Structure 1
């Protein structure tokens, strides 16, 4: 999941993150950090699982 572009919406103050393969994610700035941490954990878990196979 590669981040291509990130901006902050002027209207809502939410962070809009564009990913390769995904269009975008709307999250509040503090939630964005949590989201990215969870995504990294999931990515690591998937990688570890694939190595086991």
Structure 2
């Protein structure tokens, strides 16, 4: 997964990646979880709470 590679590259450079990749599946979030602290999580546009 390209997003995982880019997140690892950012972390190796001492940066914390912020991903705004849209809706992610649970398996995609689990794959990125250790490399990408935010995962771009934002319930604002997902219909949550409606």
Assess same fold via TM > 0.5: no
Greater CA radius of gyration, 1 or 2? Answer: 1
**Between Structure 1 and Structure 2, which shows a larger proportion of strand residues?**
1
What TM-score comes out, normalization by structure 2 length? Answer: 0.25
What TM-score comes out, normalization by structure 1 length? Answer: 0.24
